[in-house]
Amino acid sequence: MALVTAEKLVKNYVLGDITVQAIRGVDFSIEPASFVSFIGPSGSGKSTLLNMIGCLDPPTGGTLQVAGREITGLSRKEAARFRGEHIGFVFQDFNLIPVLTVFENVEYPLQMVQNWPKEKRRKRVMDMLDAVGMADQGNKYPGQISGGQKQRVAVARALVTNAELVLADEPTANLDRETANRIITLMQQMRDEFGTTFVFSTHDPRIVKNVEITFSIEDGMLEKNHIAGGGADA
């Protein structure tokens, strides 16, 4: 069973008197534990697709199922709860909470969103920090670590809740080549270790080279899909 299934998915934005069709009735599905990328030029609609999959932006039409649940009609609260339980996010600017330490940033979703008990939480956070190679940096604040380290922490935060799906919007855009490669490798390892599905929105060829499936999107249409390793249909 697919982790994400979209049918005739539409997203329109109304700007004054003009309606902009950002996504024009696309169909696609993403299988569990896959490494998928939406690629396309700026303004093509790839971030919009990612936002809809991540329950951040409701579709205008069509259906969209994530982790077996139809998410098109979710309220703000339901959407927040769903994100907290099923989806992890990795952002281009890392988006760590500056007043929390590395440990606390990773701990945050377990503590404030899923209410895990303290001991279980601490063990899980340490395991995740260990997995991303940041176990010895737990007491540092985001301002005290490098960009690559921040993105490692962001990956740990996205995975700490056992999310089935991690959405990464341009995760390597602010990283140098070597660091970007290490982050991509880390994500692949995480996918292999935890079976998490990673979906990227990117035009970074380094990511495109490494993903199994790419969806090319232009003017709101999924024009083609390139299957490197199988596992997706469009």
Partner 1 sequence: MLNILKLAIRNLKRYKRRTFLTSMLISLGVVAVLLFISVSGSFKAMMVGQITDSMLGHLQIHKKGYLASIDSLPLNRNLNQQQIKKVEQILAEEEAIEAYSMRIKMGAMFSNFVETTNIRLNAVMPSQEIDTAPLLTDRIIEGQKDGLIKKGEILVPELIAKGLKVKVGDAIVLVANNKDGSVNGQNFVVRGILEGISGPGGRDGMIHIDDAKSLLRISGAEVSEIAVRLNDIDQLPTVFSRLKSQFGSLRNKQDKPVFEVHTWEKLSPFFNIAKMIDLMTFFIKIMLIAIVLVSIMNVMIMAVYERINEIGTLAAIGTLPGKILALFVVEGFLLGILGAVTGTVISLIGISFMNASQISFDFGRQTGLLLSPTIAAGDVISVALVVIAIAVAASLQPAFKAARMDPITALRHV
Binding residues for partner 1, per CB under 8 A? 51, 54, 56-57, 76-77, 80-85, 87-89, 91, 93, 95, 97-100, 108-109, 111-114, 157, 161
Give the shortest CB-142-to-partner 1 separation in angstroms.
11
In the bound state with partner 1, the residue whose beta carbon lies nearer, of 94 and 215, is 94
- Which letter does DSSP use for residue 129 in this model? H
Residues in the chain: 234
In the bound state with partner 1, the residue whose beta carbon lies nearer, of 96 and 232, is 96
Give the shortest CB-83-to-partner 1 separation in angstroms.
4
In the bound state with partner 1, the residue whose beta carbon lies nearer, of 20 and 97, is 97
How far is residue 34's CA from residue 11's CA, in Å, rounded to a whole number? Answer: 25
- Count Cα neighbours of 154 within 13 Å in the Cβ-side half-sphere: 27
Give the shortest CB-170-to-partner 1 separation in angstroms.
12
In the bound state with partner 1, the residue whose beta carbon lies nearer, of 108 and 194, is 108
- Cα angle 206, 219, 173; round to 5: 25
> What amino acid occupies position 38?
F
How far is residue 190's CA from residue 184's CA, in Å, rounded to a whole number? Answer: 10
Give the shortest CB-67-to-partner 1 separation in angstroms.
14
List, as one string, the DSSP characters of 3-32: SEEEEEEEEEEEETTEEEEEEEEEEEEE-T
In the bound state with partner 1, the residue whose beta carbon lies nearer, of 93 and 176, is 93
Give the shortest CB-80-to-partner 1 separation in angstroms.
5
Neighbours of 233 (CB within 10 A): 14
